Structure 1
Amino acid sequence: MMGVLEGVLMELKDCAPLLKDIIATDKEKVTFKHLDMAFFVGSMPRREGMEGKDLLKANVKIFKSQVSALGKYAKNSVKVIVVGNPANTSCPTVIKSAPSIPKESFCCFSHLDHNQAMAQIALKLGVTSKDIKNVILCRNHSYTQYPDINHAKGKYEGKEVGVYEALKDDRWLKGEFIMTVQQHGATLIMARKLSNEVSAVKAIGDHIRVLWLEPQWQYVCMGVMSDGKSYAVPEDLLYSFAVAIKNQSWEIVEGPD
């Protein structure tokens, strides 16, 4: 696959004016040496009709070898984000395969679902996604996830208002909106015959930005290890919580305003 990787390298150079250097390699020691941040995106692509459980067995093999190398060669302060699905199940595998790295340094991807929920609300209000904040994605990246907009706010008609108050449409919020977010991935695959790519890459960039630079709003959603206290979620389960970011670390937000 090195030939394919060289093609990706060419595209990255075309698309990234701030890029100073990039190393294309198939050697784990080179890949993981002195890393500050690692994204695990390599997994079996989801196909039409597949669920997360169908991907799990294959992806464990993919992640296990790579994460062992991560623990051996990366900085102990490395931040690790698991993107490959099922992310909430793969992430504990990653954590257990690199015991030298604190589990608080790991999180999994829920920013794609976060972006999808904000986009649906923005389209309904006739604004843009950048005008929406504090949407919470609960649970995990699957058809059981729950988009919570009870604390969401948006710029609407020149002022900041609660999204619930602005929409005034319980039927849509409790029906079509939730189903659209929950089933968005499967619906997209049915249309494209492939998993989403552009929106996923955009969401990865957003995730880096909020973790590294801290969000301008109060909190963001990430799949993180539960502490056994917050929201009655059992300890050591990967779950998408509202988290506050400070100094490139996350903290679960209890009872957001």
Structure 2
Amino acid sequence: MSCFCCGSAPRIVEETEIIVKEPVVMAAPIKVAVTGAAGQIAYSLLYQIASGAVFGPNQPVYLHLLDIAPMMGVLNGVVMELADCALPLLAGVLPTANPEEAFKDVAAAFLVGSMPRKEGMERKDLLSANVRIFKEQGQALDKVARKDVKILVVGNPANTNALICSKYAPSIPRENFTAMTRLDHNRAQAQLADKLGVPVRDVKNVIIWGNHSSTQFPDASNALVNVGGINKPVPAAVNDDEYLKTTFVTTVQKRGAAVIAARKMSSALSAAKAASDHMRDWFLGTGDRWVSMGVISDGSYGTPRDVVFSFPVTVTNGKWKIVEGLTISDFAREMLDITGKELAEEKRDALEVCKD
């Protein structure tokens, strides 16, 4: 058939389906505090928070950045760089040297800043200096932060700093104060993956027990490795019990010192990644994986009560829960007791400083 007007074949217009994408709904911005914000760890951490890697791709954030007054010039440079990143999820930035300004209405707080350990300084001296910092920050959080704020202490000695911070913020639930042992957890996972020759994602459920110190116990006895789509126990896959009790444990315990020896600076990049992992899992959940978090001890597995102790946990709907029912071997019992004793001693020393 020809077209009436020109004699050409008629054009057949087919009906096509028009797909309309639903608009992305952004949540209201949340306020997130980071202390020690002009330091090395924060320099890597801030981008991860502001890019959506922590709270999700639809959650804008307003960053509250705290550091001491002499660091304000450096911090202003960091603020300039954040602006230059042109991050769609970054709703605003507040740089300040005032803890109450920094913690006002925050939903999450990364307490990164602490007194660094200096040459010749004993751990007790470090503890004494930091108790005063975290006492002040606890008081400020108690006064102005949201009561459901999630607080991650990164600055060392992280476990006891978290305990002291919670002591001086009595209106915030104690379970909302955690210490970072995720860096140790990530290190342990990476060591096992390397030993087994598999991608790190194929190893899960490694545990860090106790303190973020050289007494911590990296435990592979319940870990699993995915081989050919099947989860196998890591101890059976490694088939070297001596390695898992010696080299594996000491490598993880001393990894921070090894990085400092090689780099001449601390492990800031991996610490920032671990802090991001910790807070992301706390907000968004862990699924079928266990992760290691320093949380207030209820005495589970014969640990000292009322210290911040690293346990295997799962997280659902923003609430962490200690994994129950694990078998503790004689070797593990000895290791848990050593790190528990150190934490009990740290608590005693910290509380003495608080009396001053």
TM-score > 0.5, shorter chain as reference:
yes
- Look up the SS of the partner of 1:3 in the other structure: helix
Other-structure match for 1:148:
219
- Deviation (angstroms), 1:128: 2.0
Say yes or no: does 1:24 pair with 2:95.
Answer: yes
The 10-residue stretch of structure 1 (184-193 or 145-154) with the greater mean CA deviation from structure 2: 184-193
Sequence identity of aligned pairs in percent?
A: 52
Kindly report structure 1 stretches of 4+ aligned residues shifted beyond 3 Å.
10-13, 15-18, 46-54
Conserved 8 A contact 1:133-1:217 = no
- Matches of 2:302 and 2:242, distance apart in 1: 28
Match of 1:231 in 2: 301
Matched residue, 1:250: 320
Q: TM (normalized to structure 2)?
A: 0.68
Code of the aligned partner of 2:213: S
Using the TM superposition, give the Cα deviation of residue 234 of structure 1 relative to its aligned residue in structure 2, in angstroms: 2.3
CA distance in 1, matches of 2:260, 2:86: 25
Q: State whether residues 112 and 203 of structure 1, in contact with CA within 8 Å, keep that contact through their aligned partners in structure 2.
A: yes
In the alignment, which residue of structure 1 is the partner of 2:38? none
Cα deviation, residue 57, structure 1: 1.4
- Match for residue 9 of structure 1? 79
Instruction: Kindly provide the CA deviation profile for residues 69-107 of structure 1, in whole angstroms up to 9, marking residues without a partner as x.
Output: 111000111111111000111111101111111111111
CA-atom RMSD in angstroms: 2.0
CA contact (8 A) 1:125 1:156 kept: no
CA distance, structure 1, for counterparts of residue 120 and residue 81 of structure 2: 31
The CA deviation at 1:216 is 2.5
**Corresponding residue for 1:216?**
287
Q: Gapped runs of 5+ residues in structure 2?
A: 1-70, 328-356
Describe the shift of the 1:174–1:167 C-alpha distance in structure 2 as closer, same or farther (beyond 3 A): same
Distance 1:123 1:54, change over 3 A: farther
Change (3 A) 1:164 1:46: same
One-letter amino acid matched to 2:152: I
Q: Secondary structure at the match of 1:165?
A: helix
- 8 Å contact kept, 2:286–2:316: no
The Cα of 1:67 is off from its aligned counterpart by: 1.9
Q: Which runs of 5+ in 1 are unaligned?
A: none
Query: 1:163 maps to what in 2?
Result: 234
The CA distance in 2 between the partners of 1:130 and 1:12, in whole Å, is: 30
- 2:68 corresponds in structure 1 to none
- CA gap of 1:138–1:16, structure 2 versus 1, over 3 A, is farther
Asked if the contact 2:142/2:172 (under 8 Å) is kept, the reply is yes
How many pairs align? Answer: 256
User: Equivalent residue for 1:108?
Assistant: 179
Deviations 1:166-204 (A, max 9, x none): 111223212111110111112222222322100000001
CA distance in 2, matches of 1:222, 1:193: 28
Cα distance in 1 for residues equivalent to 2:216 and 2:144: 35
Please say which structure displays the higher CA radius of gyration: 2
Which residue does the alignment assign to 2:262? Answer: 191
1:179-238 deviation line (CA, Å, top 9, x unaligned): 10111112222222322100000001100111010013332111111113x111122011
Partner of 2:107: 36
